[in-house]
Amino acid sequence: MTTTLTRRRAAAAIVTAALLVPLAACGSGDDTGKDSTGKSAASSGTPGARLTVLAAASLTDVFKTAGAAYEKEHPGTKVTFSFAGSQELAAQVKQGAPADALVTADTKTMDGLKSDTDTPTVIAKNRLVIATGEGNPEKIASLKDLTNPDLKVVLAALEVPVGRYSKQVLDAQKLSVKAVSQEPSVRAVLSKVELGEADAGIVYKTDAATATGKVDAIDIPDAQNAVASYPAATLRQSKNAEAATAFVKWLSTPEAQKILQAAGFQQP
């Protein structure tokens, strides 16, 4: 009797163990793919989420701050930015550069990449100002003053968003400005003015704000100004699509908007 009972108990133990194995396997899979809140590893920022974001040059300073805030909010996630003129970023995307998300300084550039991106979302807006040397030594007060042939004025090239915006506002006022150079990004324009290689240039308001004490910013009236829109989108070639989409969505959250607006960007 004892032997029979022992055999029955052993058989029951074997059956129980067999039933527990698949359950343990299922539990292990859930723990690996999701955190305690039920979010996936990529969206919750667990180790392994590495994002490369291509961003317009005018976002250089504010995105460094935003990236740090995002990484703090999503432990384990690392966001690396590559800044350049929007036209250069578009060329990189078309050439298949490894990246996860894109933020341009205009909708035209983004619209030209419809086959390469998910649906974009405008995350901020900006306006133009005239940047001059500190103290505004040439006493520039308006767009019309930029037509003075004795002034060295630098503008961005037409393929650059800020270059197109600059042409737009000048054409609207029927003003002709002969630039001494056409630069590949708004930061290149700003640098020329900072270094004294140009008397003035047209840049975004937020860029001029990063050079306080080095340049002066002359406001352009709203009626004569242009509004720059910044769309953000996940790249279809991304190998971290879920994490990239989470970052793009985060850019529209109150926390991200607070950072953007503190830097002088306008609400989308």
pLDDT value of residue 3 = 43
Q: In 3D, which of 210, 226, 219 has the Cα closest to residue 262? A: 210
Q: What is the pTM of this model?
A: 0.81
pLDDT tier at 21, thresholds 50, 70, 90: very low
Domains, the chain, with CATH or none? 41-125+229-262 (3.40.190.10), 127-227 (3.40.190.10)
pLDDT value of residue 49 = 86
**Neighbouring C-alpha atoms within 13 Å toward the C-beta of 119:** 1
Q: What is the 3-state secondary structure (H, E, C) of the chain?
A: CHHHHHHHHHHHHHHHHHHHHHHHHHHHHHHHHECCCCCEHHHHCCCCCEEEEEEEHHHHHHHHHHHHHHHHHCCCCEEEEEEECHHHHHHHHHCCCCCCEEECCCHHHHHCCCCCECCCEEEEEEEEEEEEECCCCCCCCCHHHHHCCCCCEEEECCCCHHHHHHHHHHHHCCCCCCCCEEECCHHHHHHHHHCCCCCEEEEEHHHHHCCECCEEEEECCHHHCCEEEEEEEEECCCCCHHHHHHHHHHCCCHHHHHHHHHCCCECC
pLDDT digits (tens, 9 = 90+) for 200-230: 999 999 999 999 999 999 999 999 999 999 9
pLDDT digits (tens, 9 = 90+) for 22-37: 333 333 333 333 443 3
pLDDT digits (tens, 9 = 90+) for 187-207: 999 999 999 999 999 999 999
Please tell me the least confidently modeled range out of 9-23, 115-129, 197-211: 9-23
pLDDT digits (tens, 9 = 90+) for 247-263: 999 999 999 999 999 99
Q: What mean pLDDT comes out for the span 162-182?
A: 97
Q: What is the 3-state secondary structure (H, E, C) of 66-108?
A: HHHHHHHHCCCCEEEEEEECHHHHHHHHHCCCCCCEEECCCHH
Q: Is the pLDDT confidence value at 144 over 70?
A: yes
Q: What is the C-alpha separation between 242 and 245, in angstroms, rounded? A: 5
